[in-house]
């Protein structure tokens, strides 16, 4: 089919520095919002919103609400994906960021269970669902802004910038919680317990501070213009009326294998960030024993590990551009399988072993998360790319992230305080991802610019239909 007249949209319209900053700052804000909830879900929400005589039951209830947001994420992916594939990437990204910011700010002003009973818990659940809904549309849009504007041969590198928002958001969010915890120290003999002032108002500060970060993110994103790749599709009249229907009809294999390609990433992600915080802070003489570190000590150890997450997220981009997404991810996923099997030997080495466990886990996290910013968008043509990549990414969040902290706590209990079953669970999920990657083929040389071709599964950028995962 002849290439349609592209008109003025053929020239680069987004400076590369603006593209990288816009894709990075938005996901940093979104992940910051998500992480401060994850931290509060471990630290304060079990006591403030889920009162129970059994601390484990309260923690599981808090994790259940944490996981509920993952269920909302595919719904957000469909909603924002529809807008992004029909109206454009820029306006959709602004809407998702604003939705997340409002929900996060409102959590910071909610009454507690002691003040409003189950009304408070219900409002927390609703705000959490709104967070998940917004994040469902954020990632794929940011990834598309980065990859659709990337120069030749650097798509995976550019795709790591929205991924870099995850470790940066973690460091900012947990760093702020850490500073507040130091300023409001606990007088309790148990160093893992927050102070009364922290429980009363200190925990609210990170949620309220989100408004400042959202304002900065909105300013940056409002300065973007639409990607030329999408503009060509729109000018050619190839925008799909129902992108979701097209994806399920013509690209269902991409959806399935893309979802399982992300599975190990999600499980590792939330085990290392959410479960590990609970496990690390639990006393050694508790009914279900943990590592027994104070909150401050363990968060500092985690932040040290997340620095490796950030560094190796960037390292993974050039490797995936040079050696391919499939080869890079298969080696990393095999490493995750081994990592899950050595949890107990590592943790048995004392503090040095715990630090090594965190460093290895977060290093693997960066290596597996980084290439996903390029891999999933490469599976779908322009007219359904926002919807297709978003649905794959966020359905995987249900299979991996939504249940991972909950399953991990149950396995932790079943192991009488030993996390060996949790490690085995991680290895098993990584084997599923390895199988999905083995079925797929390399897509690094596929074009993201299909010139407005219809989303039938037969154009260049959807060539992965016969073997959809790179």
pLDDT truncated to tens, each residue of the chain (470 aa)? 444 444 444 444 567 777 888 888 888 987 888 788 878 887 888 888 887 656 767 777 777 777 777 788 889 999 999 999 988 888 888 898 899 889 999 999 999 988 988 898 889 989 989 988 988 888 888 888 888 888 888 999 999 999 999 899 989 998 898 898 888 876 654 545 678 888 899 999 999 998 988 888 888 888 777 777 888 888 888 888 899 999 999 989 999 999 999 999 999 988 998 889 889 988 888 888 889 898 888 989 999 999 999 999 999 999 999 999 999 999 999 999 999 999 999 998 999 999 999 999 999 999 999 999 999 999 998 889 999 999 999 889 888 877 887 788 889 988 888 889 999 999 999 999 999 999 988 888 887 876 544 444 333 333 333 333 33
Q: pTM of the full predicted structure?
A: 0.82
Residue 3 CB neighbour total at 10 angstroms: 11
Average pLDDT, the chain: 84
Name the residue among 238, 259, 266, 267 with its Cα closest to residue 382: 238
Q: 361-389 as b/e, with b when 16 or more CB fall inside 10 Å? A: bbbbbbbbbbbbbbbbbbbbbbbbbbbbb
Instruction: Tell me the C-alpha to C-alpha distance, in Å, between residue 200 and each of 107, 116, 120, 266.
Output: 14, 15, 15, 32
Residue 348 CB neighbour total at 10 angstroms: 10
Name the residue among 296, 306, 398, 314 with its Cα closest to residue 76: 398
Residue ranges of domains in the chain, CATH in brackets: 13-466 (1.20.1250.20)
Paired tokens of 352: 């040095």
Q: Could you report the per-residue pLDDT of 404-457, keeping only the tens digit for each? A: 877 888 899 888 888 899 999 999 999 999 999 999 888 888 878 765 444 443
Residue 170 CB neighbour total at 10 angstroms: 27
Name the residue among 267, 268, 259, 254 with its Cα closest to residue 396: 259
Tell me which H or E stretch contains 198: none
Using CA atoms of 432, 436, 437, 442 in order, give the dihedral in degrees to the nearest 10. -170
| Cα–Cα distance measured from residue 47 to residue 120, given in angstroms and rounded to the nearest whole number | 13
Question: What's the maximum distance between 2 C-alpha atoms anywhere in the chain?
Answer: 74
Q: What is the structure's pLDDT at 236?
A: 81
| Cα–Cα distance measured from residue 452 to residue 110, given in angstroms and rounded to the nearest whole number | 47
Residue with tokens 């003040």: 115
Q: How many CA atoms lie within 13 A of 25 on its CB side?
A: 21
Count of helix runs (H) and strand runs (E) in the chain: 22, 0
Phi-psi region of 417 (alpha: psi -120 to 50; beta: other; left: phi over 0): left
Which one-letter DSSP state was computed for residue 193?
S
Residue with tokens 């304060």: 44
């Amino acid at each position: 089919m002849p290439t349609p007249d592209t008109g003025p949209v053929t020239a680069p319209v987004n400076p590369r520095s603006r593209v990288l900053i816009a894709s990075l700052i938005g996901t940093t804000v979104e992940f910051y919002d998500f992480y401060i909830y994850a931290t509060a879900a471990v630290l304060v929400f079990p006591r403030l919103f889920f009162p129970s005589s059994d601390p484990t039951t309260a923690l599981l209830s808090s994790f259940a609400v944490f996981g509920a947001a993952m269920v909302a994420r595919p719904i957000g992916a469909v909603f924002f994906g529809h807008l992004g594939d029909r109206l454009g990437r820029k306006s959709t990204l602004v809407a998702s960021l604003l939705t997340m910011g409002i929900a996060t700010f409102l959590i910071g002003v909610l009454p507690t269970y002691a003040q409003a009973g189950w009304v408070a818990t219900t409002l927390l659940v609703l705000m959490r669902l709104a967070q998940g809904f917004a994040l469902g549309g954020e990632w794929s849009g940011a990834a598309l802004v980065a990859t659709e504007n990337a120069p030749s041969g650097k798509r995976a590198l550019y795709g790591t910038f929205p991924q870099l928002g995850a470790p940066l958001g973690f460091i900012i969010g947990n760093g702020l919680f850490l500073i507040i915890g130091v300023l409001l120290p606990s007088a309790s003999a148990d160093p893992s317990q927050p102070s009364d002032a922290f429980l009363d108002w200190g925990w609210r500060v990170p949620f309220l501070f989100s408004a400042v970060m959202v304002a900065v993110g909105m300013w940056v994103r409002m300065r973007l213009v639409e990607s030329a790749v999408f503009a060509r599709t729109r000018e050619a009249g190839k925008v799909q009326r129902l992108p979701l229907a097209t994806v399920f009809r013509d690209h269902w294999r991409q959806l399935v294998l893309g979802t399982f390609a992300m599975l190990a990433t999600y499980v590792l992600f939330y085990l290392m960030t959410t479960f590990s915080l609970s496990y690390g802070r639990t006393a050694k003489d508790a009914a279900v024993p943990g590592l027994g570190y104070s909150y401050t000590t363990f968060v500092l150890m985690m932040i040290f590990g997340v620095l490796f997450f950030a560094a190796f997220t960037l390292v993974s981009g050039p490797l995936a551009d040079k050696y391919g997404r499939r080869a890079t991810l298969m080696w990393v996923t095999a490493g995750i399988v081994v990592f899950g099997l050595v949890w107990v030997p590592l943790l048995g080495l004392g503090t040095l072993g715990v630090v090594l466990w965190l460093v290895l886990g977060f290093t693997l996290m960066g290596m597996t998360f980084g290439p996903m910013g390029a891999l999933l968008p490469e599976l779908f043509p322009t007219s359904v790319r926002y919807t297709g990549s978003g649905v794959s990414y966020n359905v995987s969040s249900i299979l991996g992230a939504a249940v991972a902290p909950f399953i991990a706590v149950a396995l932790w209990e079943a192991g009488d305080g030993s996390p060996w079953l949790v490690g085995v669970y991680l290895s098993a999920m990584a084997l599923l991802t390895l199988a999905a990657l083995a079925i797929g083929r390399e897509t690094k040389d596929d074009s993201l610019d299909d010139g407005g071709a219809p989303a039938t599964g037969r154009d260049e950028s959807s060539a992965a239909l016969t073997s959809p995962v790179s």
